[in-house]
Structure 1
């Protein structure tokens, strides 16, 4: 949804195509999360300029209901995205190199900086911080939905009602 030029049109089209009693599952980042409040421009899920839209749980629920969907369930934790989002945000806040760990995992190799060099100090700092930040990321991603009723990721299950 965050990568689309017109998410509203896509939601309308999903409603049109979905069978009666069909289910749609939407997973998006949540700009009202504590993770965002802490990370701000360092928030992993902000992902500018690739994320054209930022969402809130309330806004996404409202759009889905306006399009005719009935909200079945909202989850504020996703095993793949929530802990990693916190982890990379914490690393980004350390000002090592933005999304260095993510880039390493995604590409399987180290990217060179503008000067054509690999940031070995950044890699070393990341490796040293992982044993500290990983447990914190697990803890924060598990507790944020419980304490704040929010999460960096929202997963909404909505159905097309039978008339």
Structure 2
């Protein structure tokens, strides 16, 4: 990747696995941050080898993990309500980066025809026990066969961003919907924590998005951003992890007030810690 034309934004540490440092460069035209160097596809899996990588487990070993799963259950209901509001007749749903399969399980039980894709064999094994159906990769799926495609905090992980967006365009039906959830580096909590902001999560997060970057990247494939929704819980979760990375401690009270302030700031400037983007195929 040629990053010579981009400016260095900051340098961050992989706090959860390798303790290595990575640079983030800013593509000013797209308002996009790029992790550099990016691990190749062979070495990337080792950066996920941690019992603390919570989205690949159903662990409830601590207060933090129990709180995570409590909030996740609320989020699952919200996600289901969202896809039902966009497609009341239901239909075919693809979840890319399905993790342990909780979202697909909820959707399947609600009448959706579901399919998942998940690179982590550990997470996939948990999901299969819940009855989730998987494809090995999206390439084996038929073109224009899904009414809704979701990527919940997954797009930031994919090695080839432009190819992934082209593949979404191929898979979604005419007038179908793509739902993308990603962190927002323009949020108050991102600016407050700087290099300690947990949602940078390099090198697992290869790309770091803004509202501008999502709009422009999807427009290249004639996919239209129609709505942006806040993920208000993320400000608290990310602030808690950021406190741990910055101070070595779970400062629950301080993290709560930073998360609260982030949401209050975003109420006026609309820059929440994370956003859900609703994108329509034309």
User: Comparing both chains, which one has the higher relative contact order based on Cα–Cα distances under 8 Å and sequence gaps of 6 or more?
Assistant: 1
C-alpha spacing 1:144/1:91, structure 2 compared with 1 (3 Å): farther
Cα distance in 2 for residues equivalent to 1:138 and 1:152 = 8
Cα distance in 1 for residues equivalent to 2:243 and 2:261 = 11
2:175 paired residue among 6, 21, 35: 21
Show the counterpart of 2:198: 44
TM-score, normalised on structure 1? 0.70
Residue 7 (str. 1) matches residue 161 (str. 2): yes
Count of aligned pairs: 128
Show the counterpart of 1:142: 263
Which structure carries more helix by proportion? 1
SS at match of 2:175: coil
How far is 1:133 from its partner? 2.6
Cα distance in 1 for residues equivalent to 2:178 and 2:242 = 29
SS at match of 1:2: helix
Contact residue 31 and residue 55 of structure 1 kept, 8 A: yes
Contact residue 176 and residue 280 of structure 2 kept, 8 A: yes
Residue 155 (str. 1) matches residue 155 (str. 2): no
1:30 paired residue among 175, 180, 184: 184
Residue 82 (str. 1) matches residue 235 (str. 2): yes
**Could you list the per-position Cα deviations for residues 100-157 of structure 1 after superposition, in whole angstroms to 9, with x for gaps in the alignment?**
xxxxxxxxxxxxxxxxxxxxxx5xxx3xx32x23531451343132133202212100
2:209 paired residue among 50, 55, 73: 55
How far is 1:54 from its partner? 1.2
TM-score, normalised on structure 2? 0.42
Query: What are the within-5 Å matches in structure 2 for residues 108-147 of structure 1?
Result: 122=249, 126=250, 129-130=251-252, 132-147=253-268
Cα distance in 2 for residues equivalent to 1:37 and 1:138 = 12
Show the counterpart of 1:69: 223
Residue 92 (str. 1) matches residue 213 (str. 2): no
Which ranges of structure 1 fall in alignment gaps of 5 or more residues? 97-121
CA RMSD, 1 decimal: 1.8
Which ranges of structure 2 fall in alignment gaps of 5 or more residues? 1-154
Which structure carries more strand by proportion? 2
Cα distance in 2 for residues equivalent to 1:21 and 1:72 = 12
Cα distance in 1 for residues equivalent to 2:266 and 2:179 = 19
How far is 1:25 from its partner? 0.4
Show the counterpart of 2:72: none
Cα distance in 2 for residues equivalent to 1:50 and 1:134 = 23
